[in-house]
Amino acid sequence: MKRNLSDRKYVINAIFIIVGVIFLIRLLYIQVLDESYILSAESNVLRKNTIYPNRGLIYDRNEELLVYDEAAYDLMVIPRQVKQIDTVEFCMLLDITDSAFKAKMHKAKKYSIYKPTVFQAQISKEEYGYIQEKLYKFPGFYVQLRSLRKYPISIAAHTLGYIGEVNKKEIEKSRYYRQGDYIGKSGIEKFYEKELRGKKGTEIVMVDVHNREQGSYRNGRYDTLSEPGQNLYLSLDADLQAYGERLMQNKIGSIVAIDPKTGGILAFITSPVYDPNLLVGRVRGKNFNNLMNDSLKPLMNRAIMGTYPPGSTFKIVNAMVGLQEGVLREGTYYSCYGPATTPIRCTHDHVSPLALKEGIEQSCNPYFWNVFKSIINNPKYHSIKESFNSWRKHVTSIGFGSKFNTDIPFELNGNIPTSESYDKIYREGHWNALTIRSLAIGQGEILITPLQLANLVVIIANKGFYYPPHLVTAIGTKGNRIKEFNEKTETTIDPKHFKVIQEAMLNVFEGDHGTARWAKLEGVHICGKTGTVQNPHGKDHSMFIAFAPKDDSEIAISVIVENSGYGSTWAAPIASLLIEKYLNDTISRPYIEKRILEGNLISRN
Amino acid sequence: MRIRANIYKNIDWITILFYFLLVLIGWINIYAAVYNEEHRSIFDLTQNYGKQLIWISTSVILILIIMMVDANFFSTFSYIIYFLVILMLVAVLLVGKEIAGSRSWFQIWSFSLQPSEFAKFATCLALAKYLSTINVDMSKFKTKFVSTFIIIFPALLILLQHDTGSALVFFSLILVLFREGLSGSLLMIGVVVAILFILALLINKFILIGVLAIIAVMIYLLNRDIRKKLIWIIGVFIMASAYICSVNYAFENVLEPHQKKRINVLIGKEKDIRGAGYNIHQSKIAIGSGGFTGKGFLKGTQTKFDFVPEQSTDFIFCTIGEEWGYVGSFTLIILFVGLLIRLIFLAERQRSKFSRIYGYCVASILFFHFAVNIGMTIGLFPIIGIPLPFISYGGSSLWGFTILLFIFIKLDSIRLELL
């Protein structure tokens, strides 16, 4: 009955074989069929390090360095890899509180537990050395080389703009950015972001379980090289910019200087200004808030965001339109009865009747009321509306009322009223030259930016055309000029009409009764026009436009000093000093300079 | 003299080939597991692969000694060897060095020796000796008792060293007892008990008992012959139910926390890929990422960068799986199963009962190591720290397995002389 025991070898062999087969099936499953393990393995050991390229450098027109990069270090965290670290030691290392640690970790986890997040941004070189030494104790953390913007001469903060961490919207808009990346937030940094940023590279490194780098993955086969950002060459003149900023200290306002031959902006000044180095690194947040809350709005670039009525400077525009429309001639005389004149009185003391040249030179309000009236009541047109639209066409052709859309972000349009807007206010057919007479002297609904005003000067200097005002002339190398900025834009005003205007503006400096004769510069023929802009909110704005030399002009400039009174008091001498600085590179009138530098026109309420 | 001249002819070179293939595979993968750029020399004695070379060469010396010793020595001195090893196991408890929670090592100069590795062949010798004596019959209680004692005694001593894995190895000898006449139903009961144990942990005990009740009723209804044995069915059912209830209690109160955790992770009750589940998770990733053909020699990323713990010892299979892929693991499993079947074949051709039983002991122990070690790396077994024979790094284990195997090869080589 009892079976041969040696048959049991089959049972035992069967057990061996069954176990072997089970293993083979199981291994087939996890090694061949289930690919998830391969993915787990890759994420286990591969770390994608981003190689941030250096951002492009920014030079001025004389190749003086304005912005460069300085090495900084970001402490990154991959939350998934953080395990069992001594948080007390870690907090001491970084000098942060436990709750700050928790908050930062929470924020990082909320973004992604797999992707690296900036834990502590912009660690200095000294701190970096100290932290790096102990970092091996804290798996999940590593240091990423970054760079910070540095401004060797702290000028043109608004023009250059600043960079900051990308926000959610920016990440969504472009796949290039990851959390913690920097992006140009304003100014040139914003507009030329693509050129400046270069191209990020990635380096895939293998890390062991302690988060230590073990070398490149497959000899760098999957690495991509970073490409440094391109350098920018500005039309800006650093010396002129710095000098302008000095002159504008303790004043609110703006200066725009343009090279009429190219449209390149020579000086782009807004005041109050701030040191661009304030908005760099970890102090940025705090400083930004301080600037943000400052009642003088130092963050606002008044050169493009400040909109002002052009005041008397606009008389030139009306003269241009009048000449072009044929309702005004050099020899057109109008009478002025001084303060008794209606509907607009004159504040200046001069001969009467007077011709166009004297009208400009002495900024006679009644004269330009008559000019404006003749434009609006031009018999050539069938209706007031039609003649107004014609006026508006000329005015907008010089760049008023719209953006130039070159390379200056956050420009404002300003405002040139439309006939429709007057229809709305006064009802159609119920308005005429008298109703809108403020436009005759650049007041009323009309608003322009200092940049647009400077462009007007360019047009006058060029006798009827301009190149769109811009900041950057070349990208990469100095010779690689941006073509679209070299396109000449014609206005609707015929060149022949500018002769008389230029001569009249020369008289503003050089005539016996010129409104800026005090700011005259020996040896240089400067053409200018004062403006005293009535300001319902306070003291008048002092405004001045000028270009020089009269023939073959090299600089066109607009100056606005808010709430400082007459155009001739502040804006004119500032313009004169800047022109001298630019053309002669010396200041021959230290007494004027001293008065301007010492002038403190800021009253904080 | 005539017979002696034939020894080399009678040596089973196939088994020896298996042995050296496995040792070679082992060494290559130990090299790969601990390889780093700074230590490239294969003779670098500061590295495990350098040391393993020493263990391999000394193993060859051990082999030569074993082959030269008179074969009768092993059967004659088996009890004495057993006794000496028991003494060592006691001694290590007193003067041993504690490594990783186990007091199972003798420290001699810079090398450590683990007596439990030698307890295996000694126990095999003693068991073979006892079972081969005349008048021993597995059906007798005394035989069962003495056999069990021979097996359990060293196992208990090893358990006292907190080396649970090595202690469990001895239970594999139940296969030997089975071959020698232990009732097959006892083996079956063992399997059923193990299955019930796992089910009891997984499933609510009331549901499980309910299912068992249904099975019992079905057996009763469907099987006419068994109806007379109603009392048996009820008895087994009650015992099973009581067992299920006690399992939970035992699990909670008898097992140590880390053991509970390991079992919970294995049966999927706990997903803890950081703590207890970390090793098994990483081990599966390493093996799984090998794919069909593997990442190539020295190209494994998981094992090399320390994600897998104990990579040159207990988890050496991860390196094989990762670098050589399914092809590599397939080869290794075929080699092992081939060796085991070869050993059974050799055992069955022995004329001497002692040799046969010893052969089965060798096969059983190697099988247990193979099954548990690979089973744990691929997540089929809880983590029990025992080495993969001939492959894992370790002097004691390589020596132990070499002695274990080559005593049998020696016995086999003179099988014609022995009666």
Helix (H) or strand (E) run with residue A222 in it = none
Which residues of B, range 53-82, sit inside 8 Å of A by Cβ? none
**Which of A281, A303, A280, A278 shows the shortest CA–CA distance to A291?**
A278
Q: Where is pLDDT greater, at B367 or A110?
A: B367
* Distance from the B188 Cα atom to the nearest Cα atom in chain A, whole angstroms: 12
* Distance from the B305 Cα atom to the nearest Cα atom in chain A, whole angstroms: 4
Q: What is the pLDDT of residues A345-355, one digit of tens each?
A: 887 778 888 99
For A13, residues 6+ apart whose C-beta sits below 8 A from its C-beta are B340, B341, B344
For A170, residues 6+ apart whose C-beta sits below 8 A from its C-beta are A177, A183
Rounded-to-integer distance, Cα B158 and Cα B164, Å: 7
Tokens of residue B292, six digits: 């069909």
> Which residue carries 């055309």 as its tokens?
A465
Rounded-to-integer distance, Cα B392 and Cα A541, Å: 89
**Any alpha helices (H) in B257-352, and if so which ranges?**
257-266, 278-288, 316-348
Residue A227 bridge partners (DSSP)? A199
Instruction: Choose the weakest-confidence range: A87-91, A550-554, B245-249, B329-333.
Output: B245-249
| Contact residues, chain B, for A24 at CB < 8 Å | 329-330, 333
Q: Per the CB < 8 Å rule, is A23 touching B184?
A: no
> What percentage of chain A exceeds 90 in pLDDT?
45
Rounded-to-integer distance, Cα A425 and Cα A371, Å: 24
- Say whether A201 sits in a helix, a strand or coil: strand
Q: Are A266 and A247 contacting, i.e. CB atoms less than 8 angstroms apart?
A: no
> Which residue carries 């700050």 as its tokens?
A100
Q: Per the CB < 8 Å rule, is A209 touching B348?
A: no
pLDDT of residue B149: 93
* Distance from the A3 Cα atom to the nearest Cα atom in chain B, whole angstroms: 10
| Contact residues, chain A, for B178 at CB < 8 Å | 8, 11-12
pLDDT of residue B305: 60
Q: Are A441 and A311 contacting, i.e. CB atoms less than 8 angstroms apart?
A: yes
For A345, residues 6+ apart whose C-beta sits below 8 A from its C-beta are A338, A339, A365, A366
Q: Per the CB < 8 Å rule, is A26 touching B360?
A: no
Does B369 reach chain A within 8 Å, measured CB to CB? Answer: no
Residue B111 bridge partners (DSSP)? B108
What letter would DSSP give residue A502?
H
What letter would DSSP give residue A603?
-
Rounded-to-integer distance, Cα A402 and Cα A562, Å: 22
Q: Per the CB < 8 Å rule, is A27 touching B326?
A: yes
* B312: amino acid identity, one letter: S
Tokens of residue B25, six digits: 């595979």
Nearest residue of A to residue B346, measured between CA atoms: A9
* Distance from the A146 Cα atom to the nearest Cα atom in chain B, whole angstroms: 28
Rounded-to-integer distance, Cα B271 and Cα B285, Å: 15
> Which of A112-116, A549-553, B277-281 has the highest average model confidence (pLDDT)?
A549-553
Rounded-to-integer distance, Cα A452 and Cα A456, Å: 6
Query: What is the CATH code of the structural domain delimited by A238-598?
Result: 3.40.710.10
For A392, residues 6+ apart whose C-beta sits below 8 A from its C-beta are A416, A417, A418, A419
Residues B126, B131, B134, B135, CA torsion sign: positive
pLDDT of residue A605: 46
Q: Per the CB < 8 Å rule, is B307 touching A45?
A: yes
* Distance from the A85 Cα atom to the nearest Cα atom in chain B, whole angstroms: 13
Tokens of residue A422, six digits: 């007057």
For A227, residues 6+ apart whose C-beta sits below 8 A from its C-beta are A53, A198, A199, A201
- Cα angle: A510, vertex A513, A515; to 5 degrees: 80
Q: Where is pLDDT greater, at A566 or B390?
A: B390
Does B301 reach chain A within 8 Å, measured CB to CB? Answer: yes
Nearest residue of A to residue B350, measured between CA atoms: A6
- B interface mutation test: which of A4, A26, A30, A42 has the most B CBs within 10 A? A30
Preceding peptide of A339 cis, ω within 30°:
no
Nearest residue of A to residue B182, measured between CA atoms: A5
Strand ranges (E), A291-391 = none
pLDDT of residue A224: 78
**Quick one: pLDDT band at residue A1, thresholds 50, 70, 90?**
very low
- What is the distance of C-alpha A509 from the center of its chain? 33
CA distances from A509 to A206, A528, B241 (A): 73, 7, 114
Rounded-to-integer distance, Cα A244 and Cα A253, Å: 11
**Quick one: pLDDT band at residue A44, thresholds 50, 70, 90?**
low
- A12 → closest Cβ in B175, B291, B325: B175
Q: Per the CB < 8 Å rule, is B326 touching A28?
A: yes
Nearest residue of A to residue B353, measured between CA atoms: A6
- Top CATH class, A47-234: alpha beta
Q: Are A129 and A71 contacting, i.e. CB atoms less than 8 angstroms apart?
A: no
> Which residue carries 């068991």 as its tokens?
B127
- B interface mutation test: which of A10, A23, A39 has the most B CBs within 10 A? A23
Does B173 reach chain A within 8 Å, measured CB to CB? Answer: no
Rounded-to-integer distance, Cα A388 and Cα A367, Å: 19
Q: What is the pLDDT along chain B (419 residues), one digit of tens a residue?
A: 445 546 677 899 999 999 999 999 999 998 888 776 555 677 777 778 888 999 999 999 999 999 999 888 999 999 999 999 999 999 988 887 776 667 778 877 667 788 999 999 999 999 999 999 877 888 888 888 999 999 999 999 998 888 888 888 998 998 898 888 888 777 788 778 777 777 777 777 788 888 888 888 887 777 766 656 778 778 888 888 888 888 777 777 777 777 777 777 666 666 555 455 667 777 888 888 888 888 888 777 666 666 676 778 888 999 899 899 999 999 999 999 999 999 999 999 998 999 999 999 999 999 999 999 999 888 888 778 889 999 999 889 999 999 999 999 999 998 887 65
Tokens of residue A518, six digits: 């005090």
Which residues of B, range 129-168, sit inside 8 Å of A by Cβ? none
- B interface mutation test: which of A2, A37, A47 has the most B CBs within 10 A? A37
* Distance from the A2 Cα atom to the nearest Cα atom in chain B, whole angstroms: 10
Q: Where is pLDDT greater, at A308 or A204?
A: A308
Q: Per the CB < 8 Å rule, is A32 touching B292?
A: yes
* Distance from the B392 Cα atom to the nearest Cα atom in chain A, whole angstroms: 18
Residues A565-582: what's their mean pLDDT? 91
Q: What is the pLDDT of residues A364-415, one digit of tens each?
A: 999 999 999 999 999 999 999 999 999 999 999 999 999 999 999 889 999 9
At residue A7, φ and ψ (nearest 5 deg) are: -65, -20
pLDDT of residue B217: 83
- A interface mutation test: which of B174, B285, B364 has the most A CBs within 10 A? B285
Nearest residue of B to residue A27, measured between CA atoms: B326
- Return the domain boundaries, chain A: 47-234, 238-598
Q: Are A574 and A559 contacting, i.e. CB atoms less than 8 angstroms apart?
A: yes
Q: Per the CB < 8 Å rule, is B305 touching A6?
A: no
Instruction: Please count the other Cβ atoms lying within 10 Å of the Cβ belonging to residue A136.
Output: 12
CA distances from A333 to A314, A349, A370 (A): 19, 16, 10
Q: Are B285 and B302 contacting, i.e. CB atoms less than 8 angstroms apart?
A: yes
Q: Are B270 and B277 contacting, i.e. CB atoms less than 8 angstroms apart?
A: yes
Does B326 reach chain A within 8 Å, measured CB to CB? Answer: yes
Rounded-to-integer distance, Cα B158 and Cα A305, Å: 85
CA distances from A90 to A85, A103, A118, A213 (A): 8, 14, 16, 20
pLDDT of residue A30: 87
Question: Residues in chain A whose beta carbon is closer than 8 A to a beta carbon of chain B?
Answer: 5-6, 8-9, 11-13, 15-17, 19-20, 22-24, 26-28, 30-32, 34, 36-38, 40-42, 44-45, 83, 206-210, 214
| Contact residues, chain B, for A12 at CB < 8 Å | 175, 178-179, 344, 360, 363
| Contact residues, chain B, for A34 at CB < 8 Å | 288
What letter would DSSP give residue B71?
T
Pairing of the two strands A58-59 and A232-234? parallel
What letter would DSSP give residue A37?
H
Nearest residue of B to residue A17, measured between CA atoms: B337
Residues A189, A192, A193, A196, CA torsion sign: negative
Rounded-to-integer distance, Cα B75 and Cα B82, Å: 11
The string over A545-569, giving b where at least 16 C-beta atoms fall within 10 Å of a residue's C-beta and e elsewhere, is: bbbbbbeebebbbbbbbbbbebbbb
Tokens of residue B293, six digits: 């053909």
pLDDT of residue A2: 47
Question: What's the maximum distance between 2 C-alpha atoms anywhere in chain A?
Answer: 148
Residues A278-295: what's their mean pLDDT? 85
Q: What average pLDDT does chain A have?
A: 87
Rounded-to-integer distance, Cα A583 and Cα A547, Å: 11
pLDDT of residue B79: 94
Instruction: Please count the other Cβ atoms lying within 10 Å of the Cβ belonging to residue B217.
Output: 12
Q: Are A493 and A258 contacting, i.e. CB atoms less than 8 angstroms apart?
A: no
| Contact residues, chain A, for B376 at CB < 8 Å | none
Q: Are B328 and B320 contacting, i.e. CB atoms less than 8 angstroms apart?
A: yes
Q: Per the CB < 8 Å rule, is B334 touching A214?
A: no
pLDDT of residue A170: 85
**Quick one: pLDDT band at residue A24, thresholds 50, 70, 90?**
very high
The string over A122-131, giving b where at least 16 C-beta atoms fall within 10 Å of a residue's C-beta and e elsewhere, is: bbeeebbeeb
CATH fold match for the domains A47-234 and A238-598: no
Preceding peptide of A549 cis, ω within 30°:
yes
What would you report as the CA-atom Rg of chain B, rounded to the nearest whole angstrom?
A: 23
- A interface mutation test: which of B34, B337, B367, B388 has the most A CBs within 10 A? B337
**Which of B202, B175, B345 shows the shortest CA–CA distance to B265?**
B202
